[in-house]
Amino acid sequence: MFFIYKVLINIVFLFSPLIILIRLIKRKENIRRFKEKFGFFTKKRVSGKLIWFHGASVGEIQSIIPLIERLEKDRKINQILITSNTLSSSIIINKLNLRKTIHQFFPIDCNFISSKFLDYWKPSKVFFVDSEIWPNTINNLFIKKIPIILLNGRITKKTFNRWMKFSNFSKFVFGKFNFCLSANKESKKFLKKLGANNVKFFGNLKFSQSENQGVKVDKNLKKFLFKRNSWCASSTHYNEEKFCGLAHLKLKKKYKNLLTIIIPRHVDRVHQIKTDLNKLNLNVHLDHPKEKIKPNTDIYLVNSYGKTKSIFKICKNVFLGGSLINHGGQNPLEAARYGCCVFHGPHVSNFKEIYEHLQKKKISFKVKNQHHLTNLLQKKLDKKNFSKKSMKNLSIEGIKILNKIFNEIC
């Protein structure tokens, strides 16, 4: 099976220039840095000990930031390399004030590119975050006797069943990890069955919180929201914006001054979203520092990355997208840490245990349909809900998990 994987990934490599070109046209790649995916390097490797973290995208990278901040203080570590697959995750890392940490895009998992990458960076230890499993790279690390750790490992039932169709291959891959720290108890059970050794569970790393919590709030938006009822729809996907637009129209019958803030998961879609919402006769304001929000604005549409936290700080009712479609949902902890009530659809399998935990604490609420969402929002808008207690409890919980994981990997 490993041989078949090598053949398939080499076929992908042959078509990768075309794939990258399409992504460049769609502005999903950095024109100066896409070559990193082909094994070219735009950053220098400093002398001394280097540790490497790899996470697929924004969610995985954000989950390890608190850990990275602690490791930055370790004098024995000279450099920290973070790799990811997406442009949005690279933007987030570059905004952080991290002295030892650099970012590169993860190279295509061909054997020769992987070997070239490892020969250049020479990591002392490697962490794969969440569910990022790349067989060629893992095998090359194993051959070079470089310790491999699965961090916050998450295996869903669907993923587990897929791996079990190739049980010998799964044992070949997962058996090469020195140890695995699972994100939940279910993943711990699945990882053991897939052939992983030394699997432990200390809690989900996503509960931890970055030390750098200085969030700049848009003063104009804050001033504007002070006069109006508001709610936010964050990390929305295709058609979820329309769902929220229709909910806005229903709520507006009671709250004439209602403002709905929409933060799409992929900001390159904003112009299409604006067109779709205009068709519902909604007045849409595209986020721009030099343009004031008009009094008749219905929808405030965010069109850049990095503003989510500042909005959560002033808008306390949040619907999280990726949950009305079969996407698996988005991490609700960021909103919960700012004392927000979190609403979501039925499809949250990627964060099942986190949502269950928050539901028990009456922080998150599952919505069945549009009517259900508007009813729940109406109750919360009337109460002006804000929970400092939930913020404090989640912070304490996150620190405990971070301490245990930090002590285990160091």
Rounded to whole angstroms, the Cα distance separating 217 from 312 reads: 10
Half-sphere exposure of 327 (CA within 13 A, CB side): 18
Proportion of the chain above pLDDT 70, given as a percent: 96
Amino acid at 351: F
Q: Please check the confidence at residue 391 and state whether its pLDDT lies above 90.
A: no
Alpha-helical regions (H) of 26-78: 58-71
The two three-digit tokens of residue 81, written as one number: 């390399």
pLDDT of 254-269, one tens digit each? 999 999 999 999 888 9
Mean pLDDT of 7-34: 92
Beta bridge partners of 234: 263, 320
pLDDT of 65-85, one tens digit each? 999 999 999 999 999 999 999
> Three-class SS of residue 206?
helix
pLDDT of 277-319, one tens digit each? 999 999 999 987 777 888 899 999 998 877 888 899 889 999 9
Lowest mean pLDDT segment, chosen from 25-34, 126-135, 276-285: 25-34
Rounded to whole angstroms, the Cα distance separating 341 from 331 reads: 13
Q: Which residues lie closer than 8 Å to 239 by C-beta, 6 or more apart?
A: 324, 325
Rounded to whole angstroms, the Cα distance separating 98 from 171 reads: 37
Q: What confidence score (pLDDT) does residue 385 get?
A: 56
Q: Please check the confidence at residue 26 and state whether its pLDDT lies above 90.
A: no
Q: What confidence score (pLDDT) does residue 386 get?
A: 58
Q: What confidence score (pLDDT) does residue 410 get?
A: 84
Q: Please check the confidence at residue 18 and state whether its pLDDT lies above 70.
A: yes
| Average pLDDT value for the chain | 91
Mean pLDDT of 334-348: 92
Q: What confidence score (pLDDT) does residue 383 get?
A: 73
Taking the mean position of all CA atoms in its chain, how far away is CA 16? Answer: 24
Highest mean pLDDT among 115-124, 224-233, 298-307, 330-339: 115-124
Maximum CA extent, the chain: 65
Q: Please check the confidence at residue 147 and state whether its pLDDT lies above 90.
A: yes
Rounded to whole angstroms, the Cα distance separating 311 from 37 reads: 34
Q: What confidence score (pLDDT) does residue 93 get?
A: 87
Rounded to whole angstroms, the Cα distance separating 80 from 102 reads: 6
Spell out the domains of the chain, with CATH numbers in brackets: 2-153 (3.40.50.11720), 219-394 (3.40.50.2000)
Angle at CA of residue 380, ends 375 and 384, nearest 5° = 155
Helices (H) and strands (E) in the chain, counts: 16, 14
Residue pair 375/350 in contact by the 8 Å Cβ criterion: no
pLDDT of 190-219, one tens digit each? 999 999 999 999 999 988 877 655 566 777
Sign (positive/negative) of CA torsion 90, 94, 96, 100? Answer: positive
Rounded to whole angstroms, the Cα distance separating 133 from 284 reads: 41
Q: Please check the confidence at residue 109 and state whether its pLDDT lies above 60.
A: yes
Mean pLDDT of 34-41: 94
Please report, for residues 100, 124, 306, 336, the alpha-carbon distance to residue 144 in angstroms, rounded to integers and kept in the order given. Answer: 24, 10, 38, 42
